[in-house]
Amino acid sequence: MTERFPSAVIELLRAAGWQPGREVELPSELPGDYEIFPRAADVLREFGGLHIGTAGPGQECATSDLAVTPKAADGLSEYTGRTTSDGAKLYPIGEFSNGHATLLIDHRGQVYMYFDVLEPFADSFDQALCQLLLGLRRTGVRA
């Protein structure tokens, strides 16, 4: 069996307060513009409230921090909408790059970034974490 995350990511997650099997209650204040769905709820139960990593040099590009808090995206739907162009439901799961960009997940598990425009970012939240925390370029994202 392979590890879910590389050891460097696990170190950053643990430093932020994460541990395997972590499960917290969903925040009482969720963005009213969005309807939560199971994939988003799963991410928030495991990682909600954590501020993970820092900005700096990475393996292929700069690393970034990630604050897992959907409330930071209040009012974002007027810019991104609540669905992708192919109709997939979106939910904000946090912000990164020192709060300059927002991370959203769709009901299928694909992750998007919003920084002026909505773009596919990673095929899963785990992959998005690795890209942000290790400084890996986006590759092979479903469009």
Amino acid at 130: C
Of all residues in the chain, the percent with pLDDT exceeding 90 is: 59
Amino acid at 78: E
The pLDDT value recorded for residue 81 is 65
Task: Tell me, yes or no, whether 2 lies in a domain.
Answer: no
Task: Tell me, yes or no, whether 103 lies in a domain.
Answer: yes
65-101: pLDDT as tens digits: 999 998 766 666 666 667 777 888 889 999 998 888 8
| Number of domains, the chain | 1
Task: Tell me, yes or no, whether 98 lies in a domain.
Answer: yes
Task: Tell me, yes or no, whether 25 lies in a domain.
Answer: no
Task: Tell me, yes or no, whether 56 lies in a domain.
Answer: yes
Task: Tell me, yes or no, whether 58 lies in a domain.
Answer: yes
Amino acid at 35: E
Token duo for residue 36? 């939560």
Query: What CATH number did the domain enclosing 78 receive?
Result: 3.40.1580
Task: Tell me, yes or no, whether 140 lies in a domain.
Answer: no
Write down the pTM of the prediction: 0.88
Mean pLDDT over the full length of the chain: 87
* CA proximity to 92, closest of 126, 117, 69: 69
Task: Tell me, yes or no, whether 23 lies in a domain.
Answer: no
Q: Look up the domain containing 61 and give its range.
A: 7-17+31-134
27-72: pLDDT as tens digits: 777 777 788 899 999 999 999 999 999 999 999 999 999 999 987 6
Residue with tokens 């139960």: 45
